[in-house]
Structure 1
Amino acid sequence: MSEFAVLGQALDLPCGHQVKNRFFKSAMSEILGTVDHQVSKGLVTLYQRWAEGGCGVLITGNVMVDRNALGEPRNVVFDEQTDVGMVAKWAAAATSNNTDCWVQLNHPGKQSPKAINPDPVSPSAVPLGKGLDKFFNPPRELTDKEIWEIIGKYAFAAKMSKDAGFSGIQIHGAHGYLVSQFLSPHHNRRQDQWGGSIENRMRFVKEIYQAIRNEVGADFPVGIKLNSADFQRGGFTEEESTQVIQALDAMGMDLFEISGGNYESPAMTGVKQSTKEREAYFIEFAAKMKQLIKAPVVVTGGFRSAQGMADAVASGEIDMVGIARPLTLQPDMPKQIIKGVNVKSQVKPLTTGVKALDQAGMLEITWYEQQMARIAEGKQPKPNMNVYWSIVRTMTSNGIQAFQKRRA
């Protein structure tokens, strides 16, 4: 038995579904949809490679539920205009090798760049701060009718996902997107049934979950990515997150991925050295949740070694290890670790040496997007790809869109 054998163990979900091992590919924004927001052949190729790489669960990059509310220019959208044949091809590739692939459904709310959406919406008309007005227009407040319409869009997209052959759904409730905006007292200042108390602020995500469950049935996995906190003054707190997690767990949520932060206050800044050494960001909060809920818990961010991953699961503090960027460089990392290979991540800090240039080209995001694009073209990843070449390619291929705020 390998010292990493714990990572190869199957995991049972509350709905009765079983995933084959403890590796969880967290969502990354691939930017590989077509110009009209359909599934591309590249996405099919990329997810086929990841499915062959040994993960138990693959989470897609955020699939938008409304083509009039996009987070990025080449987001895939699941709605009435979607080519369901291409969705089925994506699902078939992504679920090969007995792999689970769950569609991450999302609505950006106010985090929709002005270049692609001049009229963003949010629970309340509260603009993004810290200079983000360069990229995002101030939002208008959603009406009650529009809120229910968005809930219906989530349900429609979830049914499409299941019918096409995907094996689960993840609601994106983190990183300052619309669900996260409803949960935050900073962003949600409504005085009706959708705002005020935490019970009212969580109503939106509870209604989304119930609408999805009504469409996909009781035995189909539905999970959520949720902030442990927003790390923002007046924002969503750990105490409130705990209440939301317990409420959703009681409703039958199948898995919680714990994250944190938003565009205004990214969680990865100021991570403690002790946390970096353990490799698992948010693991202390996740361990607390494990004592309070029935559903499995996964954390993403920081895992860089087979030993760190195995230790986190063996400790009982989490049930699955979330990895993202390492899989853009080593798509078969899970398969190798399960075989007993002491794999180390090839992820490393990226810089041109000029901080302003790194930021302008969003090097820590676009470099990994370019690795995914290589895999999507049937090529091998290029861990030593020149950062200057990456910046030039970003600027020349995307033009003004290169300067839009993006999140991997």
Structure 2
Amino acid sequence: MSHLAEVATIRNIPFKNRIIKGAMSEALANHAGQPNQLHLGLYEAWAKGGLGCAITGNVMVDFRAKNEPGVVVIESERDLAELKKWAEVGKQHGMVQLIQLSHPGRQCPKGLNKETVAPSAVPFSPMLATTFGTPRELCEDEIQDIIQRFAKAAQVCEQAGFEGIQLHGAHGYLISQFLSPLTNKRQDQWGGSIENRMRFLLEIYQAVRAVTSAQFIISVKLNSADFQRGGITEEEVIYVFKTIDAAGIDLIEISGGSYEAPAMAGVKSEKRKESSIAREAYFLDFAEKIRKQVNCHLMVTGGFRTVEGMNAALDSGACEFIGIARPLAVEPDLTQGLIAGQDVRYAVDKIKTGIPMIDKMAIMEIIWYAAQFKDIAQGKSPNPKLSPLKVFFKYAKGNISAMIKGRVNSRRSA
């Protein structure tokens, strides 16, 4: 029998197979950051397709810090009724759902929020500085507030009926910014040594664990590397993995990169071994290394395209779960095919608009797929040949509209 079809259990919660949908931005919420029927339709399509587990796209913990228009925000019980409907979609089809909780820190387009904040006021590289502004450094009270926001959001997720949450500690978002010496230049208890730089992650984990039940799953997505010179070292990464494992984390998803070095989109800056390329997954080598260091469950996402490659990864013991993301945007029922022994049908290449400045960023690897999600959510078939340029201009128009609305609302509240 395929390893993919094997049942797994975390905190007495059964996963009917080893396939997990990795987080991808849905961009389906209204301006107020509320979930709606589109989310229910999208996740029902994946649930009917046989997924063992789905990790949602970025859900923000602070309305003042949104990474893009259309993102869901959980700050209170305001949307508890709709969140319960969302959680129920998974339960009806035996699909575990983990809400990915996040704070973008400095990774917010200019004009979307009143300001951006980060561990330190570090500007972006010249290529991205036109899109992302230099953030303001967080003060102690603000750091403590954000920690409690993660805890409150997780508490609401459990009230709604979700089986757990994932802390987004990768891809250059706020937790990752604290971890990296490139973006954390602080000289207080939150910066300097790796022990201090990882304090933010640990305190968020502890705050979440304190307000949720023993059955609630807490996972985290962590970078194997920044893929930038001067970034977090491999020794430091291993230390972070070992420490969060010892603290009691249930599942670690291994990823890598940021907007400035988008390895998570398949754009690797380091040279990969031929043997690694043959084995499909981008981060499998690191998973094998870290597997010897931690006891929690591991998940590898990125690059898997064949049943043979997925089963080989599971058989090697490097991970217990296979993360699939982009292929599910064009094949909602992909899981059933994989379980039956059929490989991914649509190996979508890097999404390019033909505009060099845009194509160097990871943004198209987010918004092109979000456009597919909207079609799936409305009961339509996805379009693997959808024009990236058309998607970009529609996104840009929506961004401008969201910024204008945000400024108008800010004036009214003032």
TM-score (norm: length of structure 1): 0.91
* 1:90-109 mapped onto 2 (5 Å cutoff): 90-109=86-105
Q: Distance in 2 between matches of 1:218 and 1:329?
A: 36
Structure 2, unaligned runs of 5 or more:
404-414
* 1:136-175 mapped onto 2 (5 Å cutoff): 136-175=132-171
- 2:3 corresponds, among 6, 30, 43, to 6
Instruction: Say whether the 8 Å CA contact 2:33–2:73 is kept in structure 1.
Output: yes
Could you tell me which amino acid in structure 1 is paired with residue 182 of structure 2? H
Q: Which residue of 1 aligns with 2:323?
A: 322
Q: For the structure 1 residues 197 and 163, does the alpha-carbon distance in structure 2 shift closer, same or farther, using more than 3 Å as the test?
A: same
Structure 1, unaligned runs of 5 or more:
403-408
Q: Are positions 1:185 and 2:186 aligned together?
A: no
Query: Post-superposition shift, 1:169?
Result: 0.6
Q: Are positions 1:87 and 2:86 aligned together?
A: no
Q: Which residue of 1 aligns with 2:311?
A: 310
Provide the aligned length of Structure 1 versus Structure 2.
398
- Residue deviations 1:178-220 (CA, integer Å, cap 9, x gap): 1001111121111211111111111110000011011112221
* 1:5-404 mapped onto 2 (5 Å cutoff): 5-13=2-10, 15-80=11-76, 82-267=78-263, 268-270=267-269, 272=272, 274=274, 275-351=276-352, 355=356, 363-387=364-388, 389-391=390-392, 393-395=394-396, 397-398=398-399
Query: Post-superposition shift, 1:18?
Result: 2.9
Could you tell me which amino acid in structure 1 is paired with residue 268 of structure 2? T
Q: Distance in 2 between matches of 1:235 and 1:175?
A: 13
Worse-superposed segment, 29-38 or 340-349 = 340-349
Q: For the structure 1 residues 301 and 401, does the alpha-carbon distance in structure 2 shift closer, same or farther, using more than 3 Å as the test?
A: farther
Worse-superposed segment, 262-271 or 47-56 = 262-271
Could you tell me which amino acid in structure 2 is paired with residue 239 of structure 1? E
Query: Post-superposition shift, 1:82?
Result: 3.1
Query: Post-superposition shift, 1:88?
Result: 1.1
Worse-superposed segment, 383-392 or 263-272 = 383-392
RMSD: 2.2
Q: For the structure 1 residues 180 and 398, does the alpha-carbon distance in structure 2 shift closer, same or farther, using more than 3 Å as the test?
A: closer
Worse-superposed segment, 345-354 or 175-184 = 345-354
Query: Post-superposition shift, 1:384?
Result: 2.9
Give the SS at the match of 2:133.
coil
Give the SS at the match of 2:92.
coil
Q: Distance in 2 between matches of 1:205 and 1:322?
A: 22
Instruction: Say whether the 8 Å CA contact 1:50–1:94 is kept in structure 2.
Output: no
- Residue deviations 1:241-263 (CA, integer Å, cap 9, x gap): 11011011111100010111111
Query: Post-superposition shift, 1:28?
Result: 0.4
Query: Post-superposition shift, 1:343?
Result: 4.2
Could you tell me which amino acid in structure 2 is paired with residue 258 of structure 1? I
Give the SS at the match of 1:71.
coil
Could you tell me which amino acid in structure 1 is paired with residue 199 of structure 2? R
Identity %: 46
Q: Distance in 1 between matches of 2:281 and 2:395?
A: 30
Q: For the structure 1 residues 359 and 390, does the alpha-carbon distance in structure 2 shift closer, same or farther, using more than 3 Å as the test?
A: farther
Worse-superposed segment, 133-142 or 96-105 = 133-142
Give the SS at the match of 1:243.
helix
Q: Distance in 1 between matches of 2:198 and 2:362?
A: 36
Query: Post-superposition shift, 1:328?
Result: 0.6
Q: Distance in 2 between matches of 1:81 and 1:385?
A: 37
